[in-house]
Amino acid sequence: MKFHISVTAILLSLFSTSISGLPRFFPNITSIPPSFLPNITGAGWQSFQKLAGCHTGEKADGLARLKDYFHHFGYIPNSASLNYTDDFDQALESALKTYQLNFNLNTTGELDESTLQQIVRPRCGVADIINGSSSMNSGNKSSSTNGHFHTVSHYSFFPHRPTWPSSNFNLTYAFLPENQLTDSVKAIFSRAFNRWSAVTPLTFTETEFFYSADMKIGFFSGDHGDGEPFDGVLGTLAHAFSPPNGRFHLDEAENWLTDEDVGTSAVKSAVDLESVAVHEIGHLLGLGHSSVKEAIMFPTISSGTKKVELASDDIDGIHELYGSNPNFNSSSSTPSSQERETSDCGVHSLGPLWVLKTLFVAVASAMLLMY
Ligand SMILES: [Zn+2]
Ligand SMILES: [Zn+2]
C-alpha cells in the first residue's frame, strides 16, 4: 500500500513539474492582442517554404529538418542514425511520395507548391504511419496483398486495434487542475465528446478526479515528459494516446479560439479548440488518421477554420470499433450534411515512433499500478 502511494506521488510530481503556465483562450481572432500574434513566416514549419522545387540529388539547408519531420510522422522509418543530412536522397523521395499519396496530392516525389502548402499546415502530433502500416491512402496499396487494410473507406485504427473494453463504455474524463479551465472552455470539450457519443454506445462524463479519470485532458508546453514535446505556436497542436491510455495533451502555446463561429481570417496563428478536441477524441477512442479531407480524422487543420462535425468516414470507422448508438440515424448523416469547410485542419498525426512510445508508456503505467 505504501508503495502504491509513493508511486502515485511520483506520478503526481511528474505531472506537476511538466506544467509551465496557463493556456490562452480567445473568443475570436480579433480579440487576440497583437503581441500574441507571432510573425507567421517564422512559426511552425513555415521555413520549409524555402525548399520549394527541391528534388532528388540536390542539397539544401533545411532538408535534414524536413527528414526529421517525415520521420516523426512515420514516413521515414526508424534508422540506426537520426542524424539526417541536407541531401535530397532516395529515402526522402520515397517519404514524399507516400506523403503525397496520403494527402491526395500528385505523387511527384518533389517539393512542389501544393505539397509544401500541405506540409506546413498545423497538424496533429500523432503519426500517419504507425509501425510501418497505415490505412490512409498509402496503406490501401497493401490491401490487395493481405486484405488487412480497408479499400473503400479511409479511416484507420492503431496497430492491433485497441479499444475501450465493452465493460467500460461509460467513460469519465477530467481536466488537469493546474490549467484552471473555465466552465465555458470545459463546455467546448463536452460538445466535442457529445459528437462521438451521439453515434456510439459510449458515454462521457466529466469528473473532478483527474488521476482516476479514464481520459485526462491537459495543456502543456514544450517537453512535458512523454517524449512528444510541443513546438510552440502552430506546428503540432495536440496529441492523444490510443485506448485505454486516455491521455489527451494540447499545446499550451497556441492561441486557442473558443467561439462557436470562427469564421475566416487572414490571421493564421489561431486554432479552433473544438475542432482539435473532436479530432483528438477520435484518437482516444482508437481511430487513426484518414485520407478523406472532409473527415475529422484528417491529420491537418487550417488555423482560423472550424471543422467539428463527424463525416461519414469517421462514423464508419468508429462504428467498426464500437457499433452504433441505437438512437443514431445514419440517414441524417449523409455526406451532403457533413462539414463542408475545406479546412485543412492543422491537427496532428502521430507516427510509428509515437505509437511505440504510447504502448511503452501504457505498459509501464499498468505495471506500476499493479503494485
Ligand atoms: Zn503529451
Ligand atoms: Zn490526429
Q: Is 232 annotated as a binding residue?
A: yes
Query: What is the DSSP secondary-structure string of 240-305?
Result: EPPTT--EEEEETTSEEE--S-----S--SEEEHHHHHHHHHHHHHTB---S-TTSTTSSB--TT-
Q: Is 72 annotated as a binding residue?
A: no
Reduce the DSSP state of residue 125 to 3 states and report it: coil
Strand partners, 300: 123
Ligand nearest to the CA of 130: 2
Distance CA 179, CA 15 (A): 12
Ligand nearest to the CA of 217: 1
- Per-residue confidence band for 42, with pLDDT thresholds at 50, 70 and 90: low
Distance CA 4, CA 211 (A): 14
Could you tell me if 124 and 350 are in contact, meaning their C-beta atoms sit under 8 angstroms apart? yes
Instruction: Please count the residues of the chain.
Output: 371
- Indicate the fold that domain 2-44+122-144+153-370 takes in CATH: Collagenase (Catalytic Domain) (3.40.390)
Ligand nearest to the CA of 283: 2
Distance CA 49, CA 160 (A): 37
What separation in Å is there between the alpha carbon of 281 and the centre of ligand 2?
9
Distance CA 2, CA 335 (A): 55
pLDDT, average across residues 263-268: 58
Which tens digits make up the pLDDT trace of 211-239?
A: 999 999 999 999 999 999 999 988 999 99
Q: Is 297 annotated as a binding residue?
A: yes
Which tens digits make up the pLDDT trace of 273-283?
A: 999 999 999 99
What separation in Å is there between the alpha carbon of 225 and the centre of ligand 2?
19
Query: What is the DSSP secondary-structure string of 225-250?
Result: SSS----SSSSB-EEEPPTT--EEEE
What separation in Å is there between the alpha carbon of 171 and the centre of ligand 2?
20
Between 3.40.50.300, 3.40.190.10, 1.20.1260.10, 1.10.101.10, what CATH number should domain 54-119 receive?
Answer: 1.10.101.10
Q: Of 78-82, 175-179, 321-325, give the lowest mean pLDDT range.
A: 78-82
Give the residue from 87, 88, 67, 65 showing the smallest Cα distance to 79. 67
pLDDT, average across residues 344-367: 39
What separation in Å is there between the alpha carbon of 279 and the centre of ligand 2?
6
Is the pTM higher than 0.85? no
- Per-residue confidence band for 315, with pLDDT thresholds at 50, 70 and 90: very high
Which tens digits make up the pLDDT trace of 331-340?
A: 765 443 333 3
- List, by residue number, the catalytic residues: 280
- DSSP 8-state secondary structure symbol assigned to residue 64: H
Residue corresponding to grid cell 495533451: 249
Whether pLDDT at 243 is above 50: yes
How many angstroms separate the Cα of 311 from the Cα of each of 154, 277, 331? 11, 15, 12
The one-letter amino acid code at 208 reads E
Ligand nearest to the CA of 226: 1
Q: Supply 29's cell numbers.
A: 481572432
Q: Is 57 annotated as a binding residue?
A: no
What separation in Å is there between the alpha carbon of 111 and the centre of ligand 2?
23
Q: Is 249 annotated as a binding residue?
A: yes
pLDDT, average across residues 177-198: 97
Q: Is 160 annotated as a binding residue?
A: no
What separation in Å is there between the alpha carbon of 354 and the centre of ligand 2?
11
For the sheet with 24-26, list strands across it.
Answer: 24-26, 255-257, 270-272
Give residue 174's pLDDT: 98
Domain ranges of the chain: 2-44+122-144+153-370, 54-119
